[in-house]
Amino acid sequence: MQSLLDIPRGARSLLKGMGVTIRHFFRKPVTVEYPRKRAPVAKAHRNAIVLIEKDDIGSHNCIACLQCEKICPSACISITGSRPDGIAFKRPDKFDVDFALCSDCGLCLDVCPTDTLGYSEVYDAAGYSRADSKFDLLEAWRDKEGEALGTLRERERKKKEEREAKRKAAEEAKAKAAAKEKAEGKEDDKTGNGTAAS
């Protein structure tokens, strides 16, 4: 008798289970077929740092100030830079990072004055030796450096022109004010003389 009662209970349980299966069968999958497809990386995810493009120059905007190198607690950043002709700031010649030492603390991103450091979307880099974890962050940008320098020089030239125009305008305004003051002084003298005569 008990086993007869178990039949509808078992059937109900079976249908419930099938319902869950069927519901999920028509849902969008939440998994991806890695490594053929890659899951999107959340913005808050911290991983290998990279130099990021600044739209206004079409390349990174590292000015080789070395602030990231100095603040890095793991001493894994190594940068050298020089100032190209016609540009007010330096550009890096070397920007190496040893990711075997990096702790993803984010301090380098915090101090960067040009916000040109960011996290990459790489989360599965691997290698066979410690040397494989050393990366040249400028590698991705070398082809664009010439164009970026052109844009920066043009920007610098415009700034210089603006500064010169402002300086001239200030000088002209000063000269006008001095002339006006002088003219008013002469007028006062004349008025003063007239009063004394009467």
Residue keyed to tokens 């079976």: 14
The single residue among 50, 79, 148, 152 that binds ligand SF4, judged by CB under 6 A, is: 79
Closest to ligand SF4 by CB, 69 vs 194, is: 69
191 binds ligand SF4 (CB under 6 A): no
Asked if 124 contacts 89 with a C-beta cutoff of 8 angstroms, the reply is no
Both structure tokens of 22? 């069927």
Q: How far is CA 107 from CA 3, 19, 37, 92, 152, in A?
A: 68, 50, 31, 19, 27
CA gap 59, 52 in Å, rounded: 7
What is the distance between the alpha carbons of residues 188 and 146, in angstroms, rounded to a whole number?
63
Q: Does residue 63 belong to the site contacting ligand SF4 (CB under 6 A)? A: yes
Residue number with CB closer to ligand SF4 (19 or 106): 106
Can you read off the two tokens belonging to residue 187?
A: 């007028």
| The only residue of 47, 74, 133, 151 in contact with ligand SF4, by rule CB under 6 A | 74
Establish whether the linkage from the previous residue to 35 is cis, with ω within 30° of 0.
Answer: yes
97-126 residues in contact with ligand SF4 (CB under 6 A) are 97, 102-108, 111-114, 116-117
Instruction: Rank residues 107 and 156 by Cβ distance to ligand SF4 and give the closer one.
Output: 107
Taking residue 107's Cβ as centre, other Cβ atoms within 10 Å add up to 16
- In whole angstroms, give the CA distance from residue 196 to residue 178: 27
**Interface with ligand SF4 includes 48 (CB under 6 A)?**
no
Cα gap 11→2, rounded to integer Å:
15
**115 versus 164: smaller Cβ distance to ligand SF4:** 115
Site string (137-176) toward ligand SF4, x via CB under 6 A = ----------------------------------------
Enumerate binding residues for ligand SF4 (CB under 6 A). 49, 62-68, 72-74, 76-77, 79, 97, 102-108, 111-114, 116-117
